[in-house]
């Protein structure tokens, strides 16, 4: 029994030595394995052969100890050593090392969670962080707004370099400059107005042709004679006669020369012979007689005559002869329709009629085929205007005719009409509710409709600078009011203030005044609006054509002002141009007030084309320090794009000085937004937070590395490839952020080396070898004893 047990006991020693060598060999083999934890073989005595239990001391004996013989050794535990390994710097930013307790959590092949201290990570084709063996690193992911999802399950962490894009919406714009208190206070706003525009819905008389106007001379009475016919009613005296032809409308032509020169001694009847009868457009003639002296005023003695030999038996004449005739000159005419009732409405005129040249003294001009207003319409009369013989461009009212009269004979001298009203070539002006397609524009004597169905493009000016072109779609229902609102928005005229206690001064906005489009700008030189000759382009589908509405300035803006242009960014990183105009609005003995106006050509409201995006005031005290800012918010609408709307940011006036300077100045020193950028690099903090750095300088969270720690790390089950899984004696994993709840911190760009102690392991290897040789000697000795026993003879 003794020798046999010695063999088995030595065998256990050999086994123990072999185990030690295996463990040491594994430690040494993994001395360069990142995150490797060395193990130690721990042994315990195996079974014991008890030869005596011993006895306790008595009164007569001192006691005996137990007598036991060990039967060998066994491996009690192969214990991994989780002491910290050396941290070594790495050139890869995705390499991680844990300084302290804890394990990286990775995903196994079956989706289970495994644990490792090996921090060699790289990205795969899906931009996921994986171990060198392909296990995905798990942590907390982000949503579309780059917010860490702390309530969600652990997910593979991704770093989409070059793929992910991000932008930073502007929240603050920092301004600098000087708002001098010594400039001119703004008291006047720029006022501009268009030429007179007419209402095309009002009836217009049809044009006449030049053939409808003709000069007419006096009747030729060179062969006309008189004689006494007999007793009659004509009183005694010497008489002369004149003849005037009459047309169908009762219009008289120019009177003839005087003829007759007959003297009668008593009441008589006078016979006339050879009187020229009416021809052409004339149907009869009127006979006029002088007073008894052969001169004086000629009065009508016979009307509507058609015979060449009339008789005069009138005791006295009636209507005095109109002997006016036209001076030798060129004459032109306009014809309008007129409402003689209380409205006084008058149409725009026909095209210019004439000129008709008068070269013979004593002539008149006859106008025929006069246009007639529509029965039951807006007009009941016809008006004729004529130029003065001395001024071809000055047209005065000649006469007003009742509807139905189709001709008129003009013999009025300039002195008779020069005091009359001059013609309004534009006619009834536009009203706010008039359809744009019914607006009429006059260019000299030419009338046209500047607005048609199509697209109107408008490029306004403000502060001497061109603004962006805006477009208005014109249909049959688009009105003048729509045009005014469109132009107000395109100008960026601000009519109301967001702060009722600090209203905008003046009367900014657009309106219709006496048939003109009139616009009042905001106060300040840099807020003055304008319209260039080519500001309007009308496209009816066949191509654009220029419209000149004849805008001109009737009042020039004043006031110290300054302008700053800068770019901000919306939530998609789209650059938006903003212009801030500051104007010296008020000044008293205690303070100076500047008002700012903000415009953005990129403003995109749900309707309209408005560019105004904010206004407010900045008040300085007597020492040039800001005392109050009533509003500093700029709001740019982004309704028709997918970015967050509106983009709101604050203007920071803290660096603006209110001290005296030659001129006001303003500029934007910086803003905190950025355009779209792609992920270019990343860093991982000690707390495991992965922060992405984009090409636009913006930093965003990409994920959160989580660590797991256990109550008993030695209880973990090794799975190979530097992986561990929970064991029955490890306890459940406690998942935390690095640096919290007892977990270690993370060192990025570094790895944890193997904690194998080569020197210690070599010593253990020597001891194990000695142990192995010693046990073989035991076996050899037992074998020799057995041989001796077999060699005994009886």
Q: Is residue 1's pLDDT more than 70?
A: no
Q: What is the largest CA-CA distance in the chain?
A: 222
Q: Is residue 427's pLDDT more than 90?
A: yes
d(CA 504, CA 15): 99
pLDDT at residue 41 in the model: 83
**Where does 737-776 show beta strands of DSSP type E?**
745-748, 750-752
State which H helix or E strand residue 140 sits in: strand 136-140
Buried b (16+ CB within 10 A) or exposed e, 516-537: bbbbbbbbbbbbbbbbeeebbb
Q: Is residue 633's pLDDT more than 60?
A: yes
Closest CA to 326 of 284, 296, 355: 355
- 27-33 average pLDDT score: 86
Structure tokens that stand for 533 in this block? 């000759």
d(CA 256, CA 241): 9
Of all residues in the chain, the percent with pLDDT exceeding 90 is: 69
Q: Which residue has the higher pLDDT, 204 or 784?
A: 204
Q: Is residue 532's pLDDT more than 60?
A: yes
d(CA 645, CA 655): 29
Q: Is residue 638's pLDDT more than 60?
A: yes
Whether 243 and 225 have beta carbons less than 8 Å apart is answered as: no
Query: How far separated are the first and last CA of the chain, in Å rounded?
Result: 22
Q: Is residue 51's pLDDT more than 70?
A: no
- What pTM was estimated for this model as a whole? 0.74
User: Is 25 strand, coil or helix?
Assistant: helix
d(CA 675, CA 696): 6
Instruction: List, for residues 273-294, the tens digit of each pLDDT value.
Output: 999 999 889 999 999 999 999 9
State how beta strands 529-530 and 237-247 pair: unpaired
Q: Is residue 571's pLDDT more than 80?
A: yes
CATH topology of domain 172-186+559-672: Tick-borne Encephalitis virus Glycoprotein; domain 1 (2.60.98)
pLDDT band at 199 (very low <50, low <70, confident <90, very high): very high
d(CA 55, CA 61): 9
Query: What value, to the nearest 5°, has the Cα angle with vertex 131 and ends 125 and 137?
Result: 85
d(CA 426, CA 442): 7
Instruction: List, for residues 690-718, the tens digit of each pLDDT value.
Output: 998 888 888 888 999 999 999 999 999 99
> Where exactly does CATH 2.60.98.20 map onto the chain?
172-186+559-672
d(CA 747, CA 102): 13
Cis peptide before 646 (omega within 30 of 0): yes
Whether 596 and 608 have beta carbons less than 8 Å apart is answered as: no
Q: Is residue 794's pLDDT more than 60?
A: no
pLDDT at residue 431 in the model: 96
Structure tokens that stand for 202 in this block? 């009002």
pLDDT at residue 81 in the model: 87
Instruction: List, for residues 338-384, the tens digit of each pLDDT value.
Output: 999 878 999 999 999 999 999 999 999 999 999 999 998 999 999 99
Whether 386 and 297 have beta carbons less than 8 Å apart is answered as: no
Give the count of beta carbons closer than 10 Å to the beta carbon of residue 626. 16
Of all residues in the chain, the percent with pLDDT exceeding 70 is: 98
Closest CA to 349 of 390, 315, 325, 383: 383
State how beta strands 647-657 and 172-178 pair: parallel
pLDDT band at 17 (very low <50, low <70, confident <90, very high): confident
Structure tokens that stand for 396 in this block? 């005065």
Task: Tell me how far the alpha carbon of residue 92 is from its chain's centroid.
Answer: 45
- The number of helix segments (H) and strand segments (E) in the chain equals 4, 59
pLDDT at residue 49 in the model: 67
pLDDT at residue 657 in the model: 93
């Amino acid at each position: 029994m003794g020798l046999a047990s010695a063999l088995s006991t030595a065998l256990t020693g050999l086994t123990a030595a072999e185990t030690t060598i295996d463990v040491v060999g594994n430690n040494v083999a993994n001395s360069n394995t990142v995150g490797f934890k060395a193990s130690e073989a721990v042994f315990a005595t195996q079974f014991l052969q008890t030869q005596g239990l011993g006895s306790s001391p008595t009164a007569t004996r001192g006691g005996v100890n137990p007598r036991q013989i060990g039967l060998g050794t066994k491996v009690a535990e192969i214990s991994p050593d989780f002491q910290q390994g050396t941290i070594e710097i790495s050139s890869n930013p995705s390499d991680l090392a844990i300084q302290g307790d804890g394990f990286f959590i990775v995903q196994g092949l079956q989706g289970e969670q495994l644990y490792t201290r090996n921090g060699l990570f790289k990205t795969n084709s899906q931009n996921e962080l994986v171990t060198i063996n392909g296990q995905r690193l798990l942590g907390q992911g982000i949503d579309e707004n780059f917010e860490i999802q702390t309530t969600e399950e652990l997910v593979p962490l991704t770093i989409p370099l070059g793929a992910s894009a991000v932008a930073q919406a502007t929240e603050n714009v920092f301004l600098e400059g000087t708002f001098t208190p010594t400039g001119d206070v703004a008291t006047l706003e720029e006022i501009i107005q268009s030429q007179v525009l007419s209402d095309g819905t009002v009836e217009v008389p049809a044009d006449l042709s030049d053939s409808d106007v003709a000069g007419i001379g006096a009747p030729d009475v060179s062969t006309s004679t008189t004689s006494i016919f007999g007793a009659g009613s004509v009183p005694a005296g010497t008489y002369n006669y004149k003849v005037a032809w009459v047309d169908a409308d009762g219009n008289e032509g120019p009177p003839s020369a005087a003829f007759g020169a007959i003297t009668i001694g008593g009441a008589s009847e006078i016979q006339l012979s050879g009187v020229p009868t009416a021809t052409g457009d004339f149907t009869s003639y009127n006979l006029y007689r002088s007073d008894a002296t052969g001169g004086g005023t000629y009065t009508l003695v016979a009307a509507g005559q058609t015979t060449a030999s009339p008789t005069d038996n009138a005791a006295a004449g009636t209507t005095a002869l109109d002997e006016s005739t036209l001076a030798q000159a060129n004459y032109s005419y306009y014809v309008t329709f007129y409402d003689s009732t209380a409205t006084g409405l008058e149409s725009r005129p026909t095209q210019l009629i004439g000129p008709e040249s008068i070269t013979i003294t004593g002539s008149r001009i006859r106008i025929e085929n006069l246009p007639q207003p529509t029965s039951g319409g807006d007009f009941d009369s016809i008006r004729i205007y004529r130029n003065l013989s001395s001024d071809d461009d000055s047209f005065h009212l000649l006469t007003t005719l009742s509807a139905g009269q189709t001709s008129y004979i003009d013999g009025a001298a300039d002195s008779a009409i020069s005091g009359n009203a001059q013609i309004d070539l534009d006619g009834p002006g536009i009203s706010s509710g008039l359809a744009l397609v019914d607006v009429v524009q006059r260019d000299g004597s030419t009338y046209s409709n500047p607005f048609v169905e199509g697209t109107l493009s408008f490029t306004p000016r403000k502060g001497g600078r061109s603004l962006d072109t805006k477009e208005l779609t014109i249909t049959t229902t688009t009105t003048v009011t729509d045009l005014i609102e469109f132009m107000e928005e395109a100008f960026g005229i601000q009519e109301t203030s967001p702060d009722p206690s600090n209203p905008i001064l003046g009367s900014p906005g657009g309106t219709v005044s006496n048939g003109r489009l009139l616009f009042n700008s905001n106060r300040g030189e840099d807020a003055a609006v304008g319209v260039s000759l080519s500001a309007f382009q009308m496209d009816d589908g066949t191509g654009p054509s220029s419209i000149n509405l004849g805008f001109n300035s009737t009042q020039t803006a004043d006031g110290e002002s300054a302008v700053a242009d800068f770019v901000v960014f919306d939530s998609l990183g789209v650059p938006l141009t903003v212009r801030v105009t500051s104007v010296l609005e008020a000044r008293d003995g205690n303070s100076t007030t500047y008002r700012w106006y903000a415009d953005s050509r990129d403003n995109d409201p749900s309707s309209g084309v408005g560019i105004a995006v904010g206004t407010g005031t900045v008040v300085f005290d007597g020492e040039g320090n800001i005392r109050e800012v009533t509003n500093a918010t700029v709001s740019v609408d982004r309704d028709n794009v997918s970015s967050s709307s509106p983009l709101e940011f604050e203007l920071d006036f803290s660096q603006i000085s209110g001290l005296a300077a030659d001129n006001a100045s303003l500029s934007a020193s910086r803003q905190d937004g950025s355009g779209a950028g792609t992920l270019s690099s990343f860093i991982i903090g000690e707390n495991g937070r992965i922060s992405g750095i984009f090409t636009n300088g913006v930093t965003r969270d990409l994920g959160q590395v989580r660590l797991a720690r256990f109550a008993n790390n030695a209880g973990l089950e090794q799975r190979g490839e530097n992986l561990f899984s929970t064991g029955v004696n490890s306890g459940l994993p406690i998942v935390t952020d690095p640096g919290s709840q007892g977990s270690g911190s993370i060192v990025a760009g570094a790895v944890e080396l193997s904690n194998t102690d080569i020197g210690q392991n070599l010593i253990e290897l020597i001891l194990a070898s000695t142990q192995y040789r010693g046990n073989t000697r035991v076996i050899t000795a037992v074998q020799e004893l057995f041989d001796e026993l077999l060699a005994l003879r009886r």
